[in-house]
Amino acid sequence: MKPVIRNVEGQSNPVLGPEHGSATSVLLMVRHKPGESSPDHVHPWEHMAYITEGAGVLTVEDEQYLIRAGDAVLVPGGARHQFTNTGDVMMSRVTINPLESVKDGH
């Protein structure tokens, strides 16, 4: 089997997923401009995120956690959460979700 290599530029999410041969997970690249945030949402599966640039706040349930480039985050399944860019530069993150995240239409 050969590896699949895709540059994130110009790609839609998931950058890597079942259509590329992944049997268990999807990889997303998410960018938030200053002041932007992800939807405040909840889903049954956990996911991981790695902050590649910028800084902001991760809200899980009613608690806020400061996040910045270099931080790895595990968001528990079933927890309401939201990523918010509180800085003045782009906040980017690589997120890894289970395959069920795309099967459920999330």
What is the percentage of the chain residues whose pLDDT exceeds 90? 88
Q: What is the mean pLDDT of residues 90-94?
A: 98
List, in order of start, the domains of the chain with CATH numbers.
24-103 (2.60.120.10)
Rounded CA-CA distance 93/8 in Å is 12
Q: What is the mean pLDDT of residues 52-57?
A: 98
pTM assigned to the model? 0.90
Q: What is the mean pLDDT of residues 22-47?
A: 96
Q: What is the mean pLDDT of residues 53-70?
A: 98
106 pLDDT more than 60: no
Give tens-digit pLDDT for 18-33.
Answer: 999 999 999 999 999 9
Per-residue pLDDT, 105: 54
Buried residues in 65-87 as b, exposed as e (16+ CB within 10 A): eebeeebebebeeeeebbbbbbb
Beta-bridged to residue 25, according to DSSP, are 98
